[in-house]
Structure 1
Amino acid sequence: MSKPTILPTKSVGLQPTTPKSPKPPFYSTNHQTSYGEGETYSAYPKSADSPIDNPIETESTPSSVLSSLNLLTFNIEGFNSNKLYLETLSKRSDILLLQEHWLHSYEKHKLDEFLQDFICYTKCFDDNSLSDAYERRRGHAGVAICIHKKFEKFVELLPDGGNRIIGIKFNTTQPFIFLSTYLPCRGNANSIDNYQEILDELSEIYIKYSNAFRIVIGGDMNASIYRDSKQDKVFRDFIKENNLLIPPSCGKTFTFYHYNGRDTSQIDYFLESKSVISNYLTFIRESINTSTHDPILTTIPCNIQANEEINSLIENKRINWNKVDKTAYQEEIENKLSTWTDEINLNLTFDNIPDKINELCTIMAASASKCSRSKRSKCKRLKKKPWTPELENMAKINRDHFAKWKAAGRPTDKSNILFQNIQFYKKKLRSMQRQLEASLRINKYQKIMELHEGNDAGFYSLVRKQRNPANTTTTSLTFNDISLNNDNLIRDAWMDYFQDLASPMDSENFDKEHFSLVENDIKHLTKTFTENKIENISPVTEVEMKSILASMKNNKSADEENIAAEHLKYGGPIMITIMTFLINAIFKHLHIPTLLKGGIACPVLKNGKPKIDPNSYRKITITSTVGKVVEKAHLSQNKNSVIKNQNKLQKGFTSGEMPIIAALILTELIIQAIKTKSPLYVALMDARKAFDIVVASWPDERNAQVWFNGGQLVIL
């Protein structure tokens, strides 16, 4: 066979900005092409100078400024059957480009659970397909990019590419685009067309970003620059057309070893748009690697400030009420509030109600903390579960047989007992990892089946584990076209964002005359009801207060005063008495303190939306717990009026109704309009942003006309 044309590569690599370190030892292999001079570097030997076993930045390094980035690509050939090796690789790299993880779309969370120090972006073969849940097809293909969490603030997922290409922006001073790709393999009449289609996608992405970004592509290309098949030629043409570079230290090193032990090739590559890769290391065979591919590790010099900022905010410890001595808590409350049991001693006035509520909250929080047996965990994160003894033993056997095979010169003859042993035990190790995954899945299903009908806590615990546990917080936010990477700046941006949303906007379409009329009506009604005490609200009895507190739900988040429903419910009879005094005083003065109107705004990320965009979040507000008691007491006196006067089509926030029924009614209207060819106008609220902007006085006028009178309206 004639020697194929070798593509031109870059002549000089970009040197690291740090002082030059001693050159790591090289380990040549016997698997070299007859016309090549390439070298293969081993990750297996433990060398103090090796950049693989001793990356430039480790946990023991005090500086948070990184001088380089370690980027690794690997065709894992099944996440479930190669976890042992993936765990090893995760300690050697900052960014992992994975191909052929073979996960289904509903299994994406497994990568996040396993690589707890990484943020994982995953694409699966069935992302865009609907299949019957009962038909469990074998997983195949799939790509992923896993980035260490210390770089989270620099990372943004790209929206481009199908399920064989996944990319991220790495937003530093000189930004990067990192792409992980798995190109189709040879084997059928349409393979070259499928291959060209994926290359066209890569070309589109390259053209889109090449002017502003340095692009690095890594993955299983299923083609070689040293062969002459049709697919190989298409791959080389793609490289030439886009002026991509292959680092010269790539050499002619094999990255793929067929199961038959004889066929080898180089089909895994890193490509770059500009000369940025300084080191290019191809691993040789390792004992616990059950894939037919070897990883490639590259080093990219760059100065990066890692995300090690310490949050200066003091976090309130959440009380686990299952571990609180409730009897001791009630006694503590009774001792501290013993002088409050007489309304005269409370001396409640219009001005001191907020102070009394604040003092009560402080007493409840301190008492609950004192009676709690829980201790703050010293661990910052969950530890990985250890491997089973059987799996660890099988990995040890693999290492032993691999060492013997390696010492014998890596024979590939099928009749050689050493070659037979490594093939057999590698298959056994792969099978055992799959069996372990299957047993965990079966045990999980068994737990679901064995759950007691009334065990809600156990049921929802399993449901949460089934959902994607990936981190939904962000350390970067883009607001008003400004990228923010500091916690304080992000908090300020959220404040401005929600303030803008809550501020009514003036419009030329508004009826300003009607607006002024409504405003004047509300001011007049409020002044009349407040000054003349017309139809004051009926006081709440202790029996009613006991029922209100009992109706509040447990296990909800505490408010900004660190008070949850349990603080009130477990306070005993004295708490019922004090709360009755406070609520009646609020109703008497027709004024709700500002303290009870505040809350904690929690932006919750919508599924599949970009983290850095504020519009990707819906705001959930944790309101004051004492304020909720006021609302419940007020509603209990007006429940019948609300039910009587509200629109029959109102389905949300109505006892015994479901919002989905409103969708059914709308669907029927649309069908009817289509049949009769009649115009139908539908106004949707919260369609773009989950946030209501309503002029507060407009509902008040309607309430005054139909539902509430006197003090009821002022409180509302």
Structure 2
Amino acid sequence: MPSLQVAGDLDYKDTLDQISEIIEKYKDSYQTIICGDMNASLHRDNRRRDQNFKEFMSNNNLSLANRYPKAPTFFHHNGKYTSQIDYIMFPETTTGIQNSNIVIEDRHPTNTSDHTLVTANIPMKIDKTSTQLVKIYTRPNWAKCDTNIYTSTLKQELECESRRKESSVEERIKLLEKSIHKAGKKSIPKYRQLKSLKTVGKGIWNRKISEASRDSKNAHTLWKRKINSHQNADTEKINLTSKKRKLRQLQRQAYASKKEKFINDIMQASQKDSKTFHKLVKQQRSKHDTNTDILYIGNKAFEGEKILSAWQTHFETLGTPNFDENIFDLERLELAKLQNKIIPELDIQNKEITKATPTEIESAIRKLNTGKASDENGIVSEHYIHAIDVITDEITDIINQIFEEELDVPQSLKKWNFDTCLEKEKR
């Protein structure tokens, strides 16, 4: 806690507020214990800082353990002043900690600090948990898709009586997704199977490195066996050297890939990506040898601690739009603004919206990029492309139904892999 006291003691109050936010954020998922040098006392002359500390404990329902000892924990270097300012606190609702054994240790001859040691023996129960495997759905192998079965099954599903026009947009979208997956299961072998991902190590360790490491160990075993039996091991030695060289090569490649990915993440980070920013700051402050010694932002060089301000400048630049026509796509910005205004304008003017046509929808489907990740419901662009003649009319009807229902776009449609955008020719 801040030790310097100035008018208003704002730094101290600000730190207490930050701790209060942490307690509030994690109170439902964790049992919070607050401990350390609070630079305030519960057993002193009730000065302003002590009052703020007591108010902080009261507002957050913090308390001390039963039979909490009362003894000095701070000893001024002049030897005249002592006080109890180090505490271990916990919320009153925390179970099992009220009877914790708190001990304020005597000062030890080798303790050069002006604080003494405060220990707590806290009873707790730790539940043993096993590592949960990450499970994913495998991507459909469209090269093995039987297009005839896929289109015929999907057509049959769409012609079912349950696809009545009286259904809501939300219901029709869910039924369409269900029909797509049903057709996929019938036409594609091993369609979207649930697969468990297994980790093979931490850091840069991957499957290739794991295999190369195993080969290197086996080669070393063969070489060692020949040496111990006093046989000629030249061939085994050459093989061992080759395996080690391969292992080092894969390790260097993995380090390079990891570094390149981190740099790309930094350069592509958005203004709201605080995780990447703090990760960068933490790495820069560490003593690791891979830290950047000098960083250039434009033609200006930054070294040492100034590198942090350089990254700050970089992220501020990313978050500040530059409307220079040579840098920023002003035409795209104008189209975006126009698209954001067109819906409320149509609503106010009560204009009739031109219905979408199957030709427009078919054109949009054909422009979809293949090989991309699926949406939240497991639908990829190939689902539409492989059944474009069957699915176009259904999607057209759904979009026109949205137009008729005052542009009430359901959340499920917003998760699709494609949506309608304003084009330059339709300004």
User: What TM-score range do you get, normalising by the shorter chain?
Assistant: 0.3 to 0.5
TM-score by length of 1: 0.27
TM-score by length of 2: 0.41
Higher helix share: 2
